Amino acid sequence: MRWSQTLIPTMKEVPSDAEIPSHQLMLRAGLIRQLMAGAYTYLPLGWRAVRKAEAIVRDEMERAGAVELFMPAIQPIELFERTGRKDAFGNVLIQFEVKRGDRSVHLALGPTHEEVITDLVAHQISSYRQLPLTMFQIQTKFRNEERPRFGVLRTSEFIMKDAYSFGTSLEQLDESYQKMYHAYCRIFARCGLEYLPVEAESGPIGGDASHEFMIPADNGEDRIVRCTGCGYAANQERAATGRGAVAAMSVDGSGELIKVDTPDVTSIEQVSKMLGCDARRMIKTLIYQADGKPVAVLVRGDQDANEGKVRRALNVETLELADEATIREVTGAPIGFAGPVGIKCPIIADHDVAQISDAITGANAADAHYTCVNLGRDYQLETTHDLRDATGGDPCPKCDGTLELVHGIEVGHVFKLGTKYSDSLGATFLDEKEKRHSIIMGCYGIGVNRIVAGLCETQHDENGLIWPLSIAPYEVLIIPLNIQDDEVMSIANRFYDELKAAGVDVLIDDRKARPGFKFKDADLIGIPYRLVVGGKGLQEGLVEIKSRTAESPDKVPLVDAIGHLTRLMDEEKAKLAARVPA
Amino acid sequence: MRWSQTLIPTMKEVPSDAEIPSHQLMLRAGLIRQLMAGAYTYLPLGWRAVRKAEAIVRDEMERAGAVELFMPAIQPIELFERTGRKDAFGNVLIQFEVKRGDRSVHLALGPTHEEVITDLVAHQISSYRQLPLTMFQIQTKFRNEERPRFGVLRTSEFIMKDAYSFGTSLEQLDESYQKMYHAYCRIFARCGLEYLPVEAESGPIGGDASHEFMIPADNGEDRIVRCTGCGYAANQERAATGRGAVAAMSVDGSGELIKVDTPDVTSIEQVSKMLGCDARRMIKTLIYQADGKPVAVLVRGDQDANEGKVRRALNVETLELADEATIREVTGAPIGFAGPVGIKCPIIADHDVAQISDAITGANAADAHYTCVNLGRDYQLETTHDLRDATGGDPCPKCDGTLELVHGIEVGHVFKLGTKYSDSLGATFLDEKEKRHSIIMGCYGIGVNRIVAGLCETQHDENGLIWPLSIAPYEVLIIPLNIQDDEVMSIANRFYDELKAAGVDVLIDDRKARPGFKFKDADLIGIPYRLVVGGKGLQEGLVEIKSRTAESPDKVPLVDAIGHLTRLMDEEKAKLAARVPA
């Protein structure tokens, strides 16, 4: 491609509204332009990168035995009502009505396609002989993003590869899941990403039946906890801690239990301010309905309860914050004054709670708190649990190392769905004995444009992007130093033609511009290799070949240039390939 | 691909709700399944065909120098308001509001992307040096389809290649247009389609600045007029006729002009019924506002006025039906009683009108018509014009042949837009002298899934689909006659591996089913070549190779099978290639 015949609007200045490197660089390098909040056009350079990522994703999906199909973006709202996701998605689900003759039809834009594909399978698959089957598509997904930001990382439409597996047994599910997990590792490695598979909150099947694939990045919105010792990694929500149940179920507090007036002071922050105490000395008491029965969950004042952990600790299916009536019933007070002392429901507490002496809690009375609450004396626990998010400094649950907290960008997710969707949409199969069962499903997503944004976020220097060869919009950039010099252009064009003929993706900067300007743009758009033709070098029969990350260029005789470039590229390809699991 | 590992749900019965062959066959061959009215999932087989068409489209776009980008499907409604297309699209434009924090944001789903790309260009292009430029994308488009039908031919979302050219002059526009026109011919030829480029209604730039690419098909919804003599072809709306202006501006009618009472009888149909006369004896009088001035347009009672032709005949920019007040003013009567006799505005008439003697028309008075109106006696014309749609039997405008009316499916459209969008969205450039001008645009669309539906509609026999090699989901189908016979399967699998290794798209029917069943499915899904392994042939060391359209199979020794297949395929590819313009 000739620079003059495409659209690569590079920018010198850092756009003021771009907060993070990927957003800044994708704008500056002319990969994207904003149409409106949360909606970006991929310009030719950005789109080439996305298409290369897409091709790798497709290739690995097919290698793993998945077959491609393509479902409508527009879906009937009824399907979401049947699976309960209309409510679960809430404002994120984009819905609208269209007129069809006299009728009004209520539709949604697919945020993913569990409903549509399960409905399809419910109609097309009936026998165990047709299973297992994994199908995928690569498609624009729609989710209303309340607060779009971070460039293409958080937008209301994005390109997703979504795959769905269907099987007759947990064994088939395991096998499909493992194939997808393995394919994901290969995909991200081939894309040149540093990636980290982490355990994630799992569905009803339990176990470590869900993994997220993260790109560690300082500006990532996801929080990951990982152990540098044993390699254990999980998202913060899911991560266990190595903290154990507290042995002695009492604490030595010296203070006397005193009820203090705290009129209208209901939040941890307000109480802490009023009483001048550290939130770490407070016990937060949350009243939940667990499978319909009230339970008080205690965590330290500066911490939050992790509902997944609470649910697992209580071994219940449903868990939701109690309504005001229930809170009044068990505490005898309005919302904001709950505490463990004298509460009329079971109590479950995080490990850290049992370490607080002379704690401050609600008094289960309106406008009142207790100071100097002590375990063993003022309230009782039989044991303690891991009920809060893990964080940096916590002991590792798998070894004697310490967990660290890192940020990441989620690029993929594999999930054992079980029968949630097949149950609600009637996707069943007949087994060898003509007995009917629900089909067991898994789902597997990759944010295709996040692969590109993730690379931009993590692979750059002060001068611009540094693309891996596999995703680079072009592999080689030819820079003729003076386009008005016929000899320079004739040689540059010959290289261009030869590289194209050899199947190399090559861009030639045929703009009438100073060499310094072209070099700056070359670094900014980050093409892996640049080939400079002209100047003093050419008089000596040499061209300059430089990889984006090399300190200085190699000066190579004209006749060796293509061979030299090909060797460098082959080496780089081999390096990338070596990182891909077999 | 192994049949058992994908999803190809063939159907024996013709689905009752499928009206036309493509819809029936796409369902029966397992290419598509309906999600709801006007929304279809492309199953693996159908999607492979679409992807092959897409690849050819992309290849030819790039060959023609267009660069690919990708714009959001969700667009701000303001852009459509600025170009006036919000009203022009009406109910076809899918619109909705989403909540973003406290705000409500009004959005539309892109029916095409003139607005978005012109807005992009307005911001990114400023100099003649950046032009000409043609950009394209391949993307799902959304248009609310009031009456979805004909399978994937008329749906509310569809895959479109849309390209837009930007230039500084009409010469640049012409060049871009010609490149796209040529690319389209190559695309449809490579896809194995019989196609017909026809002149279509053009925009403000005039001339034959718009062409539609049609697939002639009995069930096509578009009407094309073409001359079998000289090859002239145009859509019915656009087509000229070879009828000439009438020389003698009078007709010999024997009847006396009589005003008859026709209370509340206003339509041609009602008058014809009441007076017992043929609609061909009536003159339809339509009052338009042409550039704001009233004019009466006369056509024969059984014909409709073609507004494009009227506009061109009057040489005006805007033409719309007059409101009631204007009609009262020029006719002195309410709507429904207009006629040429004594009307108070200029008259323009179609050629055919001047042939009607003793005509019946409105009397320009409430509840009254004239019978026996005669040109020259009762009203005057200076000349006549071509003001109605062409139809079969009309003389050709280019030769002395006769036009025939055929039906077609529109698969592509090239259009000279001019400055409509660049004017309304401020896309300008500075010329060599720093003078500002509007950028001159063209737009070029292809319905990618219509390529596939068009093939299914036109290339089949009573047994099923007949794919061209270039679009066929698979090129070769291997049928092992008995999958429980180890020798059969080992040979079939060896062929499968060898063909795959040779880059052939191959499907193997590894289902446990009777040969007759497999043969029926093979014909139905229409894979170009089938290779049958097993039975008596195998005992003699032979396999059967048959092209989908051959009467009987070739019996080929095992060792020659791949070579024989490859030869057949090469011949077929050469045949296809020979049809592609250079």
| pLDDT tens by residue, A473-489 | 999 999 999 999 999 99
Cis-peptide, bond into residue B44, ω within 30° of zero: no
Distance from CA of A565 to the nearest CA of B (A): 25
Residue B206 reports pLDDT greater than 60 = no
Scanning every residue of chain A, which has its alpha carbon at the shortest distance from the alpha carbon of B41? A71
Best B4, B45, B71, B130 member to test A by mutation, with max A CBs in 10 Å, is B71
Residue A180 reports pLDDT greater than 70 = yes
| pLDDT tens by residue, A422-481 | 999 999 999 999 999 999 999 999 999 999 999 999 999 999 999 999 999 999 999 999
| pLDDT tens by residue, A277-306 | 999 999 999 999 999 999 999 999 999 999
Contacts with B454 (C-beta within 8 Å, 6 or more apart), sequence order: B22, B193, B215, B217, B409, B411
Distance from CA of B180 to the nearest CA of A (A): 16
Best A43, A63, A139, A452 member to test B by mutation, with max B CBs in 10 Å, is A43
Least confident interval from A99-103, B95-99, B542-546? A99-103
Query: What pLDDT is attached to residue B520?
Result: 97
Chain B residues in contact with A109 (beta carbon < 8 A): 109
Q: Measure the CA–CA gap between A420 and A317, rounded to whole angstroms.
A: 13
- Cβ–Cβ gap A140/B39 under 8 Å: no
Least confident interval from A173-182, B180-189, B314-323? B314-323
Query: What pLDDT is attached to residue B228?
Result: 87
Residue B478 reports pLDDT greater than 90 = yes
- Cβ–Cβ gap A41/B6 under 8 Å: no
Chain A residues in contact with B70 (beta carbon < 8 A): 41-42, 47, 50
| pLDDT tens by residue, B43-86 | 999 999 999 999 999 999 999 999 999 999 999 999 999 999 99
Residue B88, classed as helix, strand or coil, is: helix
| pLDDT tens by residue, A341-392 | 999 999 999 999 999 999 999 999 999 999 999 999 999 999 999 999 999 9
- Cβ–Cβ gap B101/A147 under 8 Å: yes
Residue B208 reports pLDDT greater than 70 = no
Chain A residues in contact with B163 (beta carbon < 8 A): none
Higher pLDDT, B156 or B246: B156
Query: What pLDDT is attached to residue A205?
Result: 53
User: pLDDT-derived band of residue A208, with 50, 70 and 90 as boundaries?
Assistant: low
- Cβ–Cβ gap B140/A142 under 8 Å: no
Number of H helices, E strands in chain A: 15, 30
Q: Which of A409, A411, A477 is nearest to A29 (CA)?
A: A477
User: pLDDT-derived band of residue A228, with 50, 70 and 90 as boundaries?
Assistant: confident
Chain A residues in contact with B140 (beta carbon < 8 A): 73, 139-140
The string of DSSP letters for A253-286 reads --S--EEEE-TT--SHHHHHHHHT--GGGBEEEE
For residues B114 and B162, the answer to whether their CB atoms sit within 8 Å is: no
Scanning every residue of chain A, which has its alpha carbon at the shortest distance from the alpha carbon of B152? A72
| pLDDT tens by residue, A536-548 | 999 999 999 999 9
Task: Specify the amino acid at residue B291.
Answer: D
| pLDDT tens by residue, A298-329 | 999 999 999 989 999 999 988 999 999 999 99
| pLDDT tens by residue, A163-177 | 999 999 999 999 999
Chain B residues in contact with A129 (beta carbon < 8 A): 4, 512
Residue A558 reports pLDDT greater than 90 = yes
Q: Measure the CA–CA gap between A106 and A98, rounded to whole angstroms.
A: 7
For residues A479 and A522, the answer to whether their CB atoms sit within 8 Å is: yes
Query: What pLDDT is attached to residue B251?
Result: 85
Higher pLDDT, A115 or A253: A115
- Cβ–Cβ gap A35/B133 under 8 Å: no
Query: What pLDDT is attached to residue B205?
Result: 52
Contacts with B148 (C-beta within 8 Å, 6 or more apart), sequence order: A100, B37, B38, B39, B154, B155, B156
Query: What pLDDT is attached to residue B204?
Result: 54
Average pLDDT over residues A108-126: 97
**By percentage, how much of chain A surpasses pLDDT 90?**
90
- Cβ–Cβ gap A70/B42 under 8 Å: yes
Residue A81 reports pLDDT greater than 70 = yes
Average pLDDT over residues A151-165: 95
Both tokens of residue A405? Answer: 């907290």
Residue B207 reports pLDDT greater than 60 = no
Query: What pLDDT is attached to residue B250?
Result: 83
- Cβ–Cβ gap B98/A76 under 8 Å: no
**Considering CB atoms only, which of A41, A67, A156 is closest to B44?**
A67
**Considering CB atoms only, which of A42, A43, A116 is closest to B35?**
A116
Query: What pLDDT is attached to residue B247?
Result: 76
For residues A415 and A209, the answer to whether their CB atoms sit within 8 Å is: yes
Average pLDDT over residues A153-166: 96
Query: What pLDDT is attached to residue B261?
Result: 94
Q: Measure the CA–CA gap between A579 and A581, rounded to whole angstroms.
A: 6
DSSP single-letter state for residue B257 = P
Distance from CA of B174 to the nearest CA of A (A): 17
Query: What pLDDT is attached to residue A110?
Result: 96
Q: Measure the CA–CA gap between A29 and A14, rounded to whole angstroms.
A: 10
Both tokens of residue B189? Answer: 């030829």
HEC string of B118-181 equals HHHHHHHCCEHHHCCEEEEEEEEEECCCCCCECHHHECCEEEEEEEEEEECCHHHHHHHHHHHH
Q: Measure the CA–CA gap between A268 and A288, rounded to whole angstroms.
A: 18
Task: Specify the amino acid at residue B73.
Answer: A
Higher pLDDT, B471 or A38: B471
Average pLDDT over residues A496-506: 97
Query: What pLDDT is attached to residue B549?
Result: 96
Query: What pLDDT is attached to residue A245?
Result: 86
Q: Which of A69, A84, A151 is nearest to A115 (CA)?
A: A84
Chain B residues in contact with A7 (beta carbon < 8 A): 67, 69, 124-125, 130, 133, 135
Residue A250 reports pLDDT greater than 90 = no
User: pLDDT-derived band of residue B209, with 50, 70 and 90 as boundaries?
Assistant: confident
Average pLDDT over residues B258-265: 92
Sign, Cα dihedral of A447, A427, A437, B7? negative
Query: What pLDDT is attached to residue A251?
Result: 85
Q: Which of B422, B429, B427, B424 is nearest to B168 (CA)?
A: B429
| pLDDT tens by residue, B338-383 | 999 999 999 999 999 999 999 999 999 999 999 999 999 999 999 9
Query: What pLDDT is attached to residue A149?
Result: 85
**Considering CB atoms only, which of B4, B76, B99 is closest to A91?**
B99
Both tokens of residue B288? Answer: 């338009």
Query: What pLDDT is attached to residue B340?
Result: 96
Q: Measure the CA–CA gap between B510 and B493, rounded to whole angstroms.
A: 10
- In angstroms, what CA-CA distances link A36 with A156, A339, A433, B410? 11, 48, 57, 33
Query: What pLDDT is attached to residue B524?
Result: 98
Query: What pLDDT is attached to residue B6?
Result: 97
Question: String of b and e for A423-432 (b: at least 16 CB within 10 Å)?
Answer: ebbebbbeee
* Span between the terminal Cα atoms of chain B, in Å: 34
What pTM was estimated for this model as a whole? 0.92
User: pLDDT-derived band of residue B101, with 50, 70 and 90 as boundaries?
Assistant: confident
* 3-state class percentages of chain B: helix first, strand second, coil last, to nearest 5: 30, 30, 40
Q: How many CB pairs under 8 A join A and B?
A: 161
Q: What is the ipTM of this complex?
A: 0.92
- In angstroms, what CA-CA distances link A31 with A218, A255, B191? 22, 63, 32
Q: How far is CA A341 from the centre of its chain?
A: 41
Residue A530 reports pLDDT greater than 70 = yes
Sign, Cα dihedral of A566, A572, A576, A578? positive
- Cβ–Cβ gap B120/A41 under 8 Å: yes
Q: Measure the CA–CA gap between A203 and B468, rounded to whole angstroms.
A: 46
Query: What pLDDT is attached to residue B560?
Result: 96
A477: β partners: A507, A530
Residue A206 reports pLDDT greater than 60 = no
Q: Measure the CA–CA gap between B269 and B417, rounded to whole angstroms.
A: 39
Least confident interval from A202-206, B30-34, B457-461, B500-504? A202-206
Scanning every residue of chain B, which has its alpha carbon at the shortest distance from the alpha carbon of A2? B65
Q: Which domains does chain B have, with CATH numbers?
A: 15-240+405-456 (3.30.930.10), 258-373 (3.90.960.10), 474-578 (3.40.50.800)
Distance from CA of B492 to the nearest CA of A (A): 20
Residue A53 reports pLDDT greater than 80 = yes
Per the prediction, chain B carries an average pLDDT of 94
The string of DSSP letters for A352-365 reads GGGG-SSEEEE-SS
Bridge-based pairing state of the strands A347-349 and A293-300: parallel
Query: What pLDDT is attached to residue B383?
Result: 93
Computed on alpha carbons and rounded to an integer, the radius of gyration of chain B in Å comes to 29
The string of DSSP letters for B191-236 reads TT---EEEE----TT-SS-EEEEEEE-TT-SEEEEEETTT--EEET
Least confident interval from A255-264, B197-206, B291-300? B197-206
